[in-house]
Structure 1
């Protein structure tokens, strides 16, 4: 279901694991910061609401979404990190740069997750327009950061 038909901030919360002792790293792309900052804050707020300790949630910046994969690898290899949440936004614009970046980031994050056997969550918006991004960064379609955080929590429950 597309997020145009779903609120990203509404999700099932049955049987969530205890995350009070888990450490989370939220990687945030600096590019499109008017979008990525509210996404990151949504992720932080959701983690705290479901039991994470503030001291166990780190927010780390990378220059852009393309750099999220390398950042994820740096932190995923740390044994004390339970999950990495990658936050970014690549807007379609007038060129195909988004196709190349989004494909590389999705594959890179998947590879890191499998390599280190821990959740590395794709919290990257891939909208056609800036307004669509705003709508998914705390706007009318909720906050993708909320969804990314709850996904990290649920994936920890699988382990």
Structure 2
């Protein structure tokens, strides 16, 4: 479903796990900072609103979305981190750079999740233009940061459920 058909900040909260003792890392790309800061604010506030302790939310900045993979990997390697959220935006523009970056970051995030056996969430916007990015960073279609944080919460809960915790 495209975000044009759904508000990214509206989700099912039934049966959410207790995350008061869970530790989250949020990796934020500095490129397109006016968008990524709004994504961070959404993710951070969603984690806090659903029970994460502020002291258990760590932030790391990377220069751009391409670097999200390595930043996320470093956090994912830490045993005390339960989930990592990678936030960035790559706008289509006039060249195909977005195709290469988006594919590399999506594949990298998937590989990091599997390698480290923990949720690493792809919270990267891939809009055609700045207006679409604004709409998905707290605008008309909600905030992808909210959605990424909720995904992290649900995946931590699923992992605990499967482990019998």
TM category (shorter chain) comes to: over 0.9
Q: Secondary structure at the match of 2:78?
A: coil
Question: What TM-score, normalized by structure 2, do the two folds share?
Answer: 0.96
Residue segments in structure 1 that go unaligned for 5+ positions in a row: none
**Could you tell me which residue of structure 2 aligns to residue 2 of structure 1?**
2
**Could you tell me which residue of structure 1 aligns to residue 129 of structure 2?**
129
Q: Does 1:79 align with 2:102?
A: no
**Could you tell me which residue of structure 1 aligns to residue 90 of structure 2?**
90
Q: How many residues are aligned here?
A: 159
What is the RMSD of the two structures over their aligned residues, measured on CA atoms?
0.4
C-alpha displacement at 1:58, in angstroms?
Answer: 1.1
Partners of 1:71 and 1:59 lie apart in 2 by: 10
Partners of 2:84 and 2:146 lie apart in 1 by: 14
Q: Does 1:156 align with 2:150?
A: no
Partners of 1:84 and 1:98 lie apart in 2 by: 22
Q: Does 1:33 align with 2:25?
A: no
C-alpha displacement at 1:34, in angstroms?
Answer: 0.6
Residue segments in structure 2 that go unaligned for 5+ positions in a row: 160-165
C-alpha displacement at 1:59, in angstroms?
Answer: 1.4
Q: Which runs of 4+ in 1 moved over 3 A?
A: none
Partners of 1:112 and 1:46 lie apart in 2 by: 23
Partners of 1:108 and 1:43 lie apart in 2 by: 21
- Per-residue CA deviations over 1:31-86 (Å, capped at 9, x if unaligned) read 00010000000000000000000000011100000000001110101000000000
